[in-house]
Chain A
Amino acid sequence: MPAKNIKLPNERGYFGQFGGKFVPETLMPALAELEQAYREAQAEPEFQQEFLRLCRDYIGRPTPLYPAPRLSARSGGATILLKREDLAHTGAHKINNALGQGLLAKRMGKSRIIAETGAGQHGVAAATACAMLDLECIVYMGEEDIRRQSSNVFRMKLLGAEVRPVGSGSRTLKDAINEAIRDWVTNVEDTYYLLGSVVGPHPYPMIARDFQAIIGGETKEQVAATYHRLPDYLVACVGGGSNAIGLFHPFFDDKEVKFIGVEAAGQGLKTGHHSASLVTGRTGVLHGTRSQLLQDSDGQILETHSLAPGLDYPGVGPEHSYYQETGRASYVAVTDEQALEGFQLLCHTEGIIPALESAHAIYYAAQLAAGLTPEQLIVVNLSGRGDKDLDIVAKRIGVEL
């Protein structure tokens, strides 16, 4: 399952100068225990087989790679292929990581699972995996996100999880992570922290990437089966960056394949109301990892904005910062307005309602395709479905539900 083509991170958890373990001492032994348990699980064929079996029977993998003819025609250039993570169980790619880490927690004998969530997609995925694996699940979620994503809150509760509102700071994803870490520091002996993206201290960026790399691994086989070649571009939205790394990572050594990560430019990069940590940030340490960050001149973390709650995060996974620094990937930013355009474009051309997060990638891919030829292949990670976003979109386009 995991891509073994590059030896990153190094043994200290670094991707170049990014990554590491910047956590309170209380958690250092827990991180070491987690890493050891993960390496043992990775080396055990039964664990891998169980993960792959559940990916097939429970998540519904492999997810299709759908050549989108009307979207491609409308864009007027390259052939756009959609990796349909929206068709995975629970409606987003988050379940891949939640299931993998749930199995790992079970193997480690941890009975209490905590998780953070922004849009609620990881919270739903964690609650789902925990229900299926018979684990207690507590999800920290910012009050602002609870307001924006109430249907996901209800889903988590239906699945038996306890949702704990977080009222500190900006009351969004970063504050939910702070609170989850505080819980973990307090209950570290019996608690497993199921982190939902490729962020946080080592080994989380590695573990979440490896479980998400199934996306890119399948894509590679699917493109090869139909087109007998590699794709030209991979495009994915980036908040913390797990769906993007999952798609990109297995192609790391295929230098002819270009990676493009699409961040949230929110109301516009110049307004300061955005979440584009790679495009506009500078290096710092947040939530245990050294990476590109949105911070002020005093090193205080800035409040972020995106219409897509899943992109509303001031940091980004350290592997992305490394890809950016080395030029392996390029990163761009798409505004709320443009994402809404991408959202409606996909609805109208293909009959698919994308998550607002994924709509950022759709918009950019459509722009990119216009300047290319039909022989060129763009794979877009359609990381989630948009049902959760209907209230937000209705409000933005002035429709009363």
Chain B
Amino acid sequence: MSRVASVFQPGRKALIAYLTAGYPSREATVEAAAVLAAGGCDIIELGIPFSDPLADGATIQKASYQALQGGITPQDCLEIARRLRREIATPLVFMSYYNPILSFGTEAFCRAAARAGVDGLIIPDLPPEEGEELGASARKHGLDLIYLLTPTSTEARIALVAEKSQGFIYLVSLTGVTGARQTLPAELEDFVRRVRGKTAKPLCVGFGVSNPEQAARVAQVADGVIVGSRLLELITEDSSLAALKSAVSGLRQALNK
């Protein structure tokens, strides 16, 4: 069983946290990841900044832009992962648009990521139909290639993603881009159950989740919850990371209930 898959144990709901690598600085990313690990996050998603993040809302767009202005490269992201792997035991997953990986070379990238101690990949603009090439390299180097499902996914697509996704399946809670939302869609539970009927793989819900109440609601039906934009907002608001620490603790408690 992969390190990602082994996170999902009976009785524990996984907390997955997203950080944009290099936002607001390389050092801050490493410090924030340590806070996340200590606060009970089960998987850390490290976002590789891209110039054209078309699946992201304003928060991650700004973070990516700033990180790129700060000169961050995919090589730097690998270096950050390598450091984190030495300092914390939490499984690490890269979230990246496809072009930086294609540019690096899919095989070379998977080899480098595995060597840095990364456990999986999430590529929001790579549906399984286009994932053969990257999937082969990921398998070879022991990386889980995690695919996404959305409320618009048809039954046939749910079956396809359920078959191809490794580690867990990323359920996008809503039709839209990333970003904290006040409310999650009323149809969320139906969507999760619809997927549950088709697969035994762990299901984690992300996009829009920003507070403990929402996390608790998601945990009623799913195996894990993914929080991203809200955490970046807290890092922006309070560089001491005290607000981040308190938010992670609140989310963890909501999932433990």
Contacts and interface: CB of A to CB of B under 8 A. Distances in A.
Interface of A: 12, 20-30, 168-169, 174-175, 178, 181-182, 185-189, 283-288, 293, 295, 297-301
A133 B101 CA distance: 43
Contacts of B55: 24, 182, 185
Given A24-B124, A301-B51, 16 more contacts: A21-B127, A22-B125, A22-B126, A22-B127, A22-B130, A23-B127, A24-B54, A25-B153, A28-B152, A29-B152, A169-B52, A185-B54, A185-B55, A187-B175, A284-B102, A299-B50
Contacts of A301: 51-52, 99
A178 B65 CA distance: 14
Nearest to B73: A298
Contacts, number: 113
Given A28-B127, A174-B52, A299 B102 contact: yes
A298 B150 contact: no
B176 interface: yes
A178 B56 CA distance: 10
B51 A169 contact: yes
The dominant DSSP class at the A interface is mixed
- Listed residue (A24, A30, A186, A293) with the most chain B CB atoms within 10 angstroms of its CB: A24
Contacts of B175: 26, 185-189
Contact of A298 (B103, B129, B153, B161): B103
Interface in B7-55: 50-55
B109 to A, nearest CB: 10
A145 B202 CA distance: 46
A28 B51 contact: no
Given A28-B127, A286-B52, A297 B103 contact: yes
B129 A21 contact: yes
Contact of B152 (A26, A169, A285, A286): A26
A182 B177 contact: yes
A182 B54 contact: yes
12 contacts: A22-B98, A22-B125, A24-B55, A30-B152, A185-B177, A188-B152, A284-B102, A285-B102, A295-B103, A298-B100, A300-B68, A301-B99
Contacts of B229: none
Contacts of A25: 127, 147-150, 152-153, 157, 161, 172
Contacts of B125: 22-24, 285, 288
A168 B148 CA distance: 26
- Listed residue (B55, B126, B161) with the most chain A CB atoms within 10 angstroms of its CB: B55
Contacts of A178: 52-54
Contact-residue bracket for chain B: 35 or more
Given A22-B126, A25-B150, A26-B152, A287 B54 contact: yes
Contacts of A283: 102
A45 to B, nearest CB: 30
Enumerate the 5 nearest inter-chain pairs by beta-carbon distance, A residue then B residue, closest first: A299-B103, A299-B100, A186-B176, A26-B150, A300-B51
Contacts of B177: 182, 185-186
Nearest to B75: A298
Nearest to B61: A168
A116 to B, nearest CB: 12
Contacts of A297: 103
A249 to B, nearest CB: 25
B157 A29 contact: yes
A226 B53 CA distance: 51
Contacts of A295: 99, 103
A24 B150 contact: yes
Contacts of B142: none
Interface string B148-171: 111111100100010000000000
